[in-house]
């Protein structure tokens, strides 16, 4: 069985123990699909059986059986990262399911991070869109445990989908990217920049009719992503704050960020969905980041020589990941419209795809 880094999502052979990118301990990785969520009606402890918070030291990594603020009964851990643990929980009064993200002590004690999180949580509650997983509430127990309540979203993580399929068809890729653009636009209008867009933060879900849609996760939860302007200060192992593969050049330089930063990351995600690779090469993380700061991206046709992509799509992606943010699309809706037009005008059935995506 292969292994996977819970922080960055990188897949390794079964003999690997630690992630070479961020040093995290690797976890077993199965087929790549998200495990089915347990049924809370059969696995959720009764309120009277749950332990009372505060009676024992908090164990952030094992909160199953706890009841937060007398309301959210935690059923099972469903994910973890470097700064948080995610649990399936249900409201003890309504039995509605939620995802509860328990922040690590290091993050919850960081005054700057918490101030920004509280500010964005107040806005994130207004992020009502089918392609966005919004924040329901930000809570804090008497013990100082900080948690975020979000709707529970079932599906397959996009990173696992990418790993399972290798590459995705152009039509489906464009459909997913357009949906993400529409959800991101709502956030950007609220002055919320995601800052940590990557396949690990996107869930592929199914509607009742079997059709698929994507949901962007972790709004308002991404840490401040600054690698600093001095690349020479990066460690020999390439470890920096966050996951560097999808960071924009301005993030790597520690510059102010806006919606165009998310557009850059979104474009890299689309490129990877179509080719199975990123548009820059390097032997180390440092070389990869330097290439993003100094080099032009590798064209789609060069990454997949056997696949004929419309030239218009190449141009849209090139503009979306321009090194200077001023040269990119100003909004995600502008990016989505350009992408739909490029696919619709690509010939060989492209018009049909364009009509399918034109909403």
User: Which residues are bridge partners to 137 per DSSP?
Assistant: 149
Distance CA 156, CA 286 (A): 30
CB under 8 Å to 117, separation ≥6 — which residues? 138, 148, 220, 221
User: Which residues are bridge partners to 98 per DSSP?
Assistant: 89, 151
User: Which residues are bridge partners to 66 per DSSP?
Assistant: 51
**Residue 159 phi, psi dihedral angles, 5° rounding:** -60, -40
The total of other beta-carbon atoms located within 10 Å of residue 76's CB is 16
Closest-CA residue to 328 (of 278, 267, 287, 242): 267
Active site residue 258: no
User: Which residues are bridge partners to 157 per DSSP?
Assistant: 203
Q: Given 22, 160, 196, 262, which residue is catalytic?
A: 196
Distance CA 221, CA 323 (A): 26
Where helices occur in the chain by DSSP H, the ranges are: 40-43, 105-108, 111-124, 158-165, 170-189, 249-252, 259-275, 285-294, 300-303, 311-320, 332-344, 350-357
**Residue 273 phi, psi dihedral angles, 5° rounding:** -60, -35
Question: Which segments of 92-136 are extended strands (E)?
Answer: 97-103
The string of DSSP codes covering 73-89 is: EEEEEEEE-SSEEEEEE
Structural contact between residues 173 and 101, judged by C-beta atoms closer than 8 angstroms: no
Q: In this structure, what token pair is assigned to residue 303?
A: 């990454």
> How many alpha carbons fall within 13 Å on the CB side of residue 222?
23
CB under 8 Å to 42, separation ≥6 — which residues? none
Distance CA 224, CA 42 (A): 39
Catalytic residue positions, numbered: 196
């Amino acid at each position: 069985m292969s292994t996977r880094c819970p922080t960055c999502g990188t897949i390794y052979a079964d003999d690997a123990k630690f992630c070479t990118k961020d040093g995290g301990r690797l976890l077993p990785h199965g087929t790549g699909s998200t495990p089915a969520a347990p049924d809370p009606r059969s696995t959720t402890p009764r309120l009277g059986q749950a332990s009372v918070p505060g009676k024992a030291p908090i164990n952030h990594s094992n909160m199953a059986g706890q009841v937060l603020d007398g309301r959210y009964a935690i059923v099972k851990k469903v994910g973890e990262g470097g700064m948080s643990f995610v649990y399936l929980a249900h409201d003890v009064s309504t039995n509605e399911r939620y995802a509860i993200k328990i922040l690590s002590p290091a993050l919850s004690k960081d005054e700057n991070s918490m101030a920004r999180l509280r500010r964005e949580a107040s806005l994130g509650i207004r992020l009502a869109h089918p392609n966005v997983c919004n924040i329901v509430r930000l809570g804090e127990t008497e013990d100082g445990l900080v948690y975020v309540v979000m709707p529970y979203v079932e599906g397959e993580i996009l990173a696992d989908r990418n790993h399972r399929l290798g590459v995705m068809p152009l039509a489906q890729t464009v459909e997913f990217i357009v949906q993400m653009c529409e959800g991101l636009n709502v956030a950007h209008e609220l002055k919320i920049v995601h800052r940590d867009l990557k396949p690990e933060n996107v869930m592929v879900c199914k509607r009742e009719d079997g059709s698929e849609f994507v949901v962007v996760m972790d709004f308002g939860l991404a840490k401040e992503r600054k690698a600093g302007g001095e690349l020479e200060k990066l460690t020999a192992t390439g470890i920096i704050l966050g996951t560097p593969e999808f960071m924009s050049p301005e993030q790597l330089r520690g510059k102010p960020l806006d919606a165009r930063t998310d557009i850059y990351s979104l474009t890299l995600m689309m490129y990877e969905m179509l080719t199975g690779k990123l548009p820059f090469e390097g032997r180390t993380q440092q070389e990869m980041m330097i290439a993003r700061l100094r080099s032009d991206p590798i064209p789609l046709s060069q990454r997949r020589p056997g696949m004929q992509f419309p030239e218009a799509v190449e141009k849209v992606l090139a503009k979306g990941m321009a090194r200077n943010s001023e040269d990119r699309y100003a909004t995600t809706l502008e990016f989505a419209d350009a992408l739909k037009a490029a696919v619709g005008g690509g010939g060989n059935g492209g018009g049909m795809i364009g009509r399918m995506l034109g909403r």
